[in-house]
């Protein structure tokens, strides 16, 4: 029984994962740092019959999808605010050709949030790859429960 069984409810009676399963689960977490959603997706599709590997790969895949969506929404918000500020300056009849203040604030905020997400991505990749290699059914904070529901574990 893993230390996360208390937080996520009882883990179904499983046989101890094999060394091969632990290695693939570890790679699903670790390789997401280098190549995004592709390694967890490939490992999930190839090793779907292993509940342990599928669980860990699906968590990494769900995290990468959410991370991508958050980054894209941030980029859309920056572009919308910059273009909105440019249109506002032109509509107000301003002759100032300086970049809009929203560009500096938006770009700085986006960069800061991107770096926080990047460090979070590194942490998740390392921490959960270690747990997976130890053979533990450790849950990501939000995506662990979702992965369990999807896989019915």
- Give 2-43 pLDDT, tens digit per residue: 444 434 444 444 678 999 999 999 999 999 988 989 999 999
121-136 per-position pLDDT tens digit: 899 899 999 999 999 9
Q: Name the token pair of 105.
A: 């604030």
The residue ranges of every structural domain in the chain are 5-151
Spatial separation of the C-alpha atoms in residues 115 and 107, rounded to whole Å: 12
31-76 per-position pLDDT tens digit: 998 898 999 999 999 999 999 999 999 999 999 999 999 889 888 8
pLDDT bin (cut points 50, 70, 90) of residue 113 is confident
DSSP labels for 26-92? HHHHHTHHHHTTHHHHHHHHHTTT-HHHHHHHHHHHHHHHHHHHHHHHHHHHHHHHHHHHHHHHHHT
């Amino acid at each position: 029984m893993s230390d996360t069984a208390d937080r996520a409810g009882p883990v179904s009676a499983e046989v101890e994962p094999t060394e091969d399963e632990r290695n693939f689960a570890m790679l699903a977490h670790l390789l997401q740092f280098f190549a995004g959603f592709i390694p967890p997706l490939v490992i999930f599709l190839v090793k779907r019959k292993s509940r342990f590997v599928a669980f860990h790969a699906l968590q990494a895949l769900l995290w990468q999808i959410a991370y991508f969506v958050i980054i894209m929404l941030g980029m859309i918000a920056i572009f919308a605010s910059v273009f909105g500020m440019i249109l506002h300056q032109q509509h107000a009849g301003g002759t100032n050709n300086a970049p809009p203040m929203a560009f500096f604030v938006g770009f700085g905020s986006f960069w800061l949030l991107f770096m926080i997400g990047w460090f979070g991505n590194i942490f998740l990749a390392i921490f959960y790859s270690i747990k997976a290699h130890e053979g533990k059914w450790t849950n990501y904070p939000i995506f662990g429960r979702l992965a369990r529901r999807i896989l019915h574990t």
